[in-house]
Amino acid sequence: MYNQVQILKMGEFGVPFSYSSVLVFFHHHSTEKRFVFMDWSTAWAVVITGMVVVFVALIVLVAVVSLFGAITSRITGKKPPKEEKKAAPAAPKAAPAAKSNAVNASTDDEDVAAIMGAISLIFAEEGNQNGFTLKSVSLKRNRRRLPLPVWAASGVRENVTAGLF
Partner 1 sequence: MIDIFLQTVRDLVMDSGFLNVSWQALAMIGISFILIYLAIAKGFEPLLLLPIAFGMLLTNIPNTGMFHMEYFVGSAVDYGEVLHNGGLLDILYLGVKLGIFPPLIFLGIGAMTDFGPLIANPKSFLLGAAAQLGIFITYLGALMLGFTPEQAGAIGIIGGADGPTAILVAKSLAPELLGSIAVAAYSYMALVPLIQPPIMKALTTKKERAVVMAQLRPVSRTEKLMFPIMVTLIVSFLVPDAASLVGMLMLGNLMKESGVVDRLVKTAQNELMNIVVICLGTTVGATATAEYFLSPQTIKIIILGLIAFCIGTAGGVLFGKLMYLASGGKVNPLIGSAGVSAVPMAARVSQKVGAEENPANFLLMHAMGPNVAGVIGSAVAAGVLLSIYA
Q: Which residues bind partner 1 (CB under 8 A)?
A: 1-2, 6, 10, 13, 24-27, 29, 36, 38, 40, 42-44, 46-47, 49-51, 53-62, 64-66, 68-69, 72-73, 76, 129, 131
User: What's the min distance (Å) between Cβ of 77 and partner 1?
Assistant: 10
Q: Which residue number, 105 or 148, has a Cβ lying nearer to partner 1?
A: 105
Q: Which residue number, 26 or 165, has a Cβ lying nearer to partner 1?
A: 26
Q: Which residue number, 39 or 150, has a Cβ lying nearer to partner 1?
A: 39
Q: How far is CA 53 from CA 60, 61, 81, 142, in A?
A: 11, 12, 43, 65
User: What's the min distance (Å) between Cβ of 61 and partner 1?
Assistant: 5
CA separation for the pair 150, 95 (Å, rounded):
7
Task: Give Rg (Cα) of the chain.
Answer: 34
Q: Which residue number, 30 or 107, has a Cβ lying nearer to partner 1?
A: 30
User: What's the min distance (Å) between Cβ of 153 and partner 1?
Assistant: 26
Angle, alpha carbons 134-135-138 (nearest 5°): 100
CA separation for the pair 116, 123 (Å, rounded):
11
User: What's the min distance (Å) between Cβ of 126 and partner 1?
Assistant: 9
Residue 19: which region, alpha, beta or left (left: phi > 0; alpha: psi -120 to 50)? alpha
